[in-house]
Amino acid sequence: MSIFSLNNKQAIVTGAGSGIGKAVALLFAQQGAVVNIVDIGEEAANATVQEIAEAGGKAVAHVCNVTNQQEVVDAFNKIGTIDILVNSAGVSHIGKADTTSEADFDRIFNVNVKGIYNCLFAAIPIMKSKGSGVILNMSSVAAEVGLPDRFAYSMSKGAVAAMTLSVAKDYIGDNIRCNSISPGRVHTPFVDGFLKKNYPGKEQEMYEKLSKTQPIGRMAKPVEIAHLILYLCSEEASFITGSDYPIDGGFIKLNN
């Protein structure tokens, strides 16, 4: 019997047009799930679906802004059955409490906090009606330690950690599991874009500097994060709920 099989599972992965979300979608499809790609970018969502199809998997694109509750509810109801929800959509921000504008604070809150709430609001009734479900939320090491210049981002990930515990507690009787993971730095297109914008001509130098902030000496690959998510969403993790798993190259415990 194949372990970590997701055969015949209907999965939703938000933010699956790029980065960690895309890696999760590709891996889930490889393991037999029908993957619903939820992303605000139509081109990116379709590209992920095409890549999955070319590899022999099954996926459907849903263009959806997770900050809009009605859009999320409509998309999830259209999908109909939800076995797994991975809340991967998120944005970052650099700034302290006195340098973060109200507009930037609202943007981070709307995507990283309200976006997950909207997906929970839409998915949980569907999961309750079928008597089971698995939810995985994307937290961060920022919810555990003080990071410089990450005020709004850290706020949002602290909220994700709290929502995870609340959902795990409230729906344990409905056979719905809810966990989160806390990645350290991951090499995604966002990182490349950030370096290009803020350190033109010094991208490689800054990439190496950021990589060395992880005790293990490098950033994670998106697929490495996806492997942990696969485990937590599989039947092999059926006894796990209300937990957060750091996947940070030793950042939280060894960076002292």
Residues known to be catalytic? 153
The C-alpha angle 133, 183, 39, rounded to 5 degrees, equals: 60
Going 71 to 76 to 78 to 79, the CA torsion angle's sign is: positive
79: which strand partners?
none
Residue type (1 letter), 172? I
Give me the residue label for tokens 């995870």.
164
Rg (CA), the chain: 18
Going along 142-204, which residue ranges are E strands?
A: 176-183
CA–CA dist 42, 47 (Å, integer) = 9
